[in-house]
Chains A and B, each alone.
Chain A
């Protein structure tokens, strides 16, 4: 093999030198035996040999140039040959590009969410500090949220533990925009302590970090912008440094811009970061700490547990809990993980199908290049050389495909993330494709894989022939067709099988999605309107309550308003809080939508209370905290029992809520699963930012206008910031916010269809080639009187077997594989028979369609022309 010799040139050179030396010795001996004196003998031997240095150089050159020359020859030839067959080249390149590109796109998503190293200095020494109990540790499900602490003394106490931590900094994990998703003006800025950036070891790329005095209440109106936000909102203009902008009636001064890869908290790239103060967000915080250099986390954990008695924190934490240190890392919940994995497999299948297609195409081409191969063998080309030749050609195709893929993979990755809505934003993909070393390596590997998968078998097949029949045969019916057909059979059925698995996955998801959409929302959406009220003065407590009460009374008096209610959080709006239920009951925790509603809420929306009681005027700030949960939630956490009277604990440290009623479950969005719980609390307990929900009789227009004018006269600068109708929010075409199931489905469908299309093109190509090859034979048959149908049957038999085999194997494979999709499927079994039957039928239909054109061509063959070609 040329390249082995190339790499071991020096070894061979020494070998040859030794060999030449031994020749000289032998010749010298002979000369001495003939009677020459020894010096003359040696001289004569050298003369007889010739110029030994020259010979050695020549062999060395053979090793070097021989290989490089052959490679260069192959490259030139491959390029010319592909240019001569632009159709083949374009199809092959495009097919490979799709395979490579899709894989790279999905990999970049996986990379951004899982593999990418954290952008902090020595991130292994950074830990999050939380208080956990045995139960809460057990109840973790991937997408874990750190708990929020209340007592700022805790920070000082931890900082005092200099033997464990070299730094402890607080931050708050939610921004204004997270907590008030209906307020489109809220700033998405995460509060972090002024010492956080130095502890993480990250500098802003422009401007400066936070100063310690900016961590004081009232002085923290400064922000560090994220790179993405800076580019999006300010066009990447460096002059914005030092300037101020207003959001939600507050002014923020820009002091710096963070680098593009910075994320905090882990897995999030908010628009900006601002200084955390003891007063912001009620002084709640989560903790990140840096371990003392050289300290291992296990040791630190032990030390922390030992000193936990000295740390001042909420009694609720301490009771049965212990401080828990864990490495900072991106966490994914099981749904996201499954979705990503499914996508990775799907795209992998598409890749194999694409490579199989190209391999098939190359095999067919190889069969028509028999003459050329025969000539090469005849003039002495070794088998290795032939294989090298073919591999170079497929390598060229793969490289071209890779380059094409590079161009659109970045776009595709962004598309995937932005559509997938699985809790990450597309900013996570910064820096882009070109600068990400891991991605480029992956692309390289995939390209080489593509080259090998599509080129190896055709290369070996072409080089395998031991006879040299091509020179003597003139007809196009080449020898060795049986073996060739077997290989193509294998490829074809492989493609069919993979396409079936893909379709099965997509089909199941489609079926599940349909079920989801058809489930009723759980309340009466007809003529129900939501108006978001924006009050710039941000009243709190009693003042707010009074304001909203007044608003409600006024609105209720508008003719045409059948019912009105005030609430913060409505179905179809993203709301959440994290609540835990102490083990003893079930121990699980969940992030669930939380609604603050007044007693008229359930009546207005038409949600029946199925157990217990509604909220009443007795439930206000001063009474025991109460809550109403929905029936599904109740069933999930207290199966078979009544939840009335039981307690829920929300953020640790807050008072537990007593459940007083159970409401019927509601879908929080058209595509949301009724599986998610709803938690209702009285609005009077937290009378902040709210919406009015109205049920209107008759024409909505005038009523809404009246309502708007009422709101505007209510208090200075009050206005309605958004109006939405629930009919629209729950209509199919408006995806709204949580449309993860739909996006996932769309992507799976796209991949499945791409795979199917590729496989179908494969069938079409194979059959066309078959027809072309057998034209003389068909001509003969038709001349002998065969009917069109007979010819068609002949051809169908060529591809029918691989299709049937492929489908059978595919069905078996999917029966085994689809159970991994269980978490993504809603009320559909992974072995749903309806889906299986439909998918098989669809595949058969497509296969049939792919046959149609070549069959038609075959039947149209004119016997006379066909026979003349022979």
Chain B
């Protein structure tokens, strides 16, 4: 668990990939912030630990760009919550992001594991 008091966002790289993770999470359907946070945590088998609060600036930024859209709905416990869904532009961005991520990973692998080529 990251210590309290450390800045929630660790470096720009994490910020960029956080966007990717959020977008991917929303592929399966709309969700609200709480759900998204837990999904990321659990699906990565608790490797990716991010302060859940840091999600919200990311959501804000994504909404600014028009990649996700929000609406108020009611949650499972019948509480009012803000839901997010992927927009077509966001879907496209996700595809682009993923392909670039693949390129990046492959390139880095080529350097650090030249033997496997």
Contact = CB atoms under 8 A, between A and B. Distances in A.
Contact of B66 (A18, A49, A382): A382
A50 B4 CA distance: 7
B42 interface: no
Contacts of A51: 4, 8, 53
Given A22-B81, A382-B64, A48 B57 contact: no
Contacts of A5: 64
A280 B35 CA distance: 96
Interface stretch (A23-31, A160-168, A200-208): A23-31
Interface string B31-58: 0111001000000000000011110110
A16 B60 CA distance: 9
Given A54-B8, A59-B60, A380 B65 contact: yes
B116 interface: no
B99 interface: no
A608 B46 CA distance: 115
Contact of A50 (B34, B52, B61, B77): B52
Greatest chain A CB density within 10 A among B8, B52, B80 is at B52
B8 A29 contact: no
Interface string A38-59: 0000000001111110110011
B110 interface: no
A47 B65 contact: no
Contacts of A12: 60
Contact of A25 (B37, B79, B82): B79
Contacts of A58: 57
B75 interface: yes
B79 A50 contact: no
Interface string A661-677: 00000000000000000
Nearest to A381: B65
Interface in A48-104: 48-52, 54-55, 58-59, 62, 66
A453 interface: no
A138 interface: no
A766 B86 CA distance: 43
Given A20-B53, A55-B56, A26 B61 contact: no
A49 B52 CA distance: 5
A185 interface: no
Contact of B54 (A23, A25, A55): A55
A734 interface: no
Contacts of A55: 8, 53-54, 56-57
Given A50-B8, A54-B8, A19 B33 contact: yes
A52 B60 contact: no
B79 A26 contact: yes
A16 B53 contact: no
A59 B79 contact: no
A20 to B, nearest CB: 7
Greatest chain A CB density within 10 A among B33, B64, B79, B80 is at B64
Contacts of A2: 64
Interface string B76-102: 010111100000000001000000000
B56 A26 contact: no
A38 to B, nearest CB: 15
A16 B82 CA distance: 9
Interface in A4-38: 5, 12, 15-16, 18-20, 22-23, 25-27, 29
Greatest chain A CB density within 10 A among B34, B37, B66 is at B34
A22 B65 contact: no
A26 B65 contact: no
Contacts of B37: 23
Given A26-B75, A47-B4, A62-B61, A52 B80 contact: no
A49 B37 CA distance: 10
Interface residues of B, number: 24
B74 to A, nearest CB: 10
B79 A22 contact: yes
Given A19-B82, A25-B79, A54-B8, A62 B60 contact: yes
Contacts of A48: 51-52
A272 B6 CA distance: 80
B31 to A, nearest CB: 12
Contact of A22 (B54, B66, B82): B82
Given A382-B64, A382-B66, A23 B34 contact: yes
Contacts of B61: 62
A23 B65 contact: no
Contacts of A50: 4, 8, 51-54
A22 B34 contact: yes
Contacts of A52: 53
B60 A26 contact: no
Contacts of A22: 32-34, 75, 79-82
A220 B72 CA distance: 84
Contacts of A16: 56, 60
Greatest chain B CB density within 10 A among A2, A26, A382 is at A26
A26 B54 contact: no
Contacts of B8: 50-51, 54-55
A20 B56 contact: yes
A12 B70 CA distance: 12
A59 B34 CA distance: 17
B64 A26 contact: no
Nearest to A26: B34
A366 to B, nearest CB: 22
Interface string A130-169: 0000000000000000000000000000000000000000
Contacts of B33: 19, 22-23
A771 to B, nearest CB: 37
B14 to A, nearest CB: 14
A19 B32 CA distance: 9
A59 B56 contact: yes
Nearest to B35: A26
A781 B70 CA distance: 56
B57 A59 contact: yes
A49 B53 contact: yes
Contacts of A49: 51-53
A5 B80 CA distance: 23
Contacts of A380: 65, 93
Interface in A827-849: none
A47 B82 CA distance: 21
Contacts of B54: 50, 55
B56 A19 contact: yes
Greatest chain B CB density within 10 A among A2, A27, A29, A380 is at A380
A125 B1 CA distance: 80
Contacts of B4: 47, 50-51
A382 B65 contact: yes
Nearest to A23: B34
A452 B32 CA distance: 40
Nearest to A383: B66
Contacts of A15: 82
B104 to A, nearest CB: 14
A669 to B, nearest CB: 69
B81 to A, nearest CB: 5
A19 B80 CA distance: 9
A25 B32 CA distance: 13
B42 to A, nearest CB: 12
Given A20-B53, A55-B54, 8 more contacts: A19-B82, A22-B75, A23-B37, A26-B34, A26-B75, A49-B51, A55-B8, A55-B57
Interface of B: 4, 8, 32-34, 37, 51-54, 56-57, 60-61, 64-66, 75, 77, 79-82, 93
30 contacts: A5-B64, A15-B82, A16-B56, A19-B33, A19-B56, A19-B81, A20-B56, A22-B80, A22-B82, A23-B33, A23-B52, A26-B81, A27-B34, A29-B79, A47-B4, A49-B52, A49-B53, A50-B4, A50-B51, A51-B4, A51-B8, A54-B8, A55-B8, A55-B54, A55-B56, A59-B60, A62-B57, A62-B60, A380-B65, A382-B65
**9 tightest CB-CB pairs across the interface, nearest first?**
A50-B53, A50-B51, A55-B53, A26-B34, A49-B53, A19-B82, A22-B81, A23-B34, A382-B65
